Amino acid sequence: MATKKIAVIVTNGVEDIELVEPRQALVDAGYQPILIGEQAGQLIYGKKGTTFKLDQGIDDVVATDYQALFIPGGYSPDHLRADPRFVDFTSEFMEKRRPVFAICHGPQLFITAGLAHGKKMTAYQTVQADLQYAGADVTDQAVVEDGPLITSRNPHDIPQFNAAIVKYLKTIPAT
């Protein structure tokens, strides 16, 4: 049977609700979101002050142990993309066309990874221009699905984003 683990890469400044609500939706659907950041056990803080405890450090994880990658937004993605380990981890999912879910500023990782080109996606309003210049096919709508790549714009899109990612995961056959 396929792993139910979902890799969530995150650090300080995450948009709290964009981590809390999709994480809950994944748990409710029977998946195990694993928070991956600098170091296992580390506490990180959301923009609005929520405290999150990291489950795993980036040096201790292997992409193939996870069924999908989820990148919540806020200030977190721009911090993560300054560290090649998180960019490489993202690339491992993107290059093999494995499931990647990103909301708000999450798609900034795709630009640094050099993998935005030609892909259909959306993102936070200000990041849309960056993605267009990077060659992405950007649409300003609540959810954009390009096969296993599912993206949304902001906290208002969370209900539709959650529905889309859970629905997509359900299509993956048990192995």
Which residues form the interface with a copy of itself (CB under 8 A)?
13, 75, 78, 81-82, 108, 111-112, 114, 125-126, 129-130, 133-135
85-103 core/surface letters (b: 16 or more CB in 10 A; e: else):
ebbebbbbbbeeebbbbbb
Q: What minimum distance in Å lies between the beta carbon of 68 and a copy of itself?
A: 24
Active site residue 105: yes
How far apart (Å, rounded) are the C-alpha atoms in residues 11 and 5? 19
- 104 classed as catalytic: yes
Q: Which is nearer to a copy of itself, 95 or 133 (CB)?
A: 133
Q: How far apart are CA 132 and CA 121, in angstroms?
A: 10
Nearer to a copy of itself, 67 or 128 (CB): 128
**Partners of 6 in the beta sheet?**
33, 68
Strand partners, 37: 57
Tell me which residue of 158, 55, 22, 148 sits closest to 93, measured CA to CA: 148
Q: Nearest distance from residue 155's CB to a copy of itself, in Å? A: 14
* Distance in Å, CB of 133 to a copy of itself, minimum: 4
DSSP 18-31: HHHHHHHHHHHTT-
Kindly tell me which of 23 and 79 has the beta carbon lying closer to a copy of itself: 79
By the 8 A CB rule, do 6 and 67 touch? Answer: yes
Closest separation in Å from C-beta 38 to a copy of itself:
16
Catalytic annotation, pick one of 79, 104, 117, 156: 104
Identity of the residue, 126 or 175, whose beta carbon is nearer to a copy of itself in the bound complex: 126
- Strand pairing partners for 32? 5
Return the active site residues.
104-105
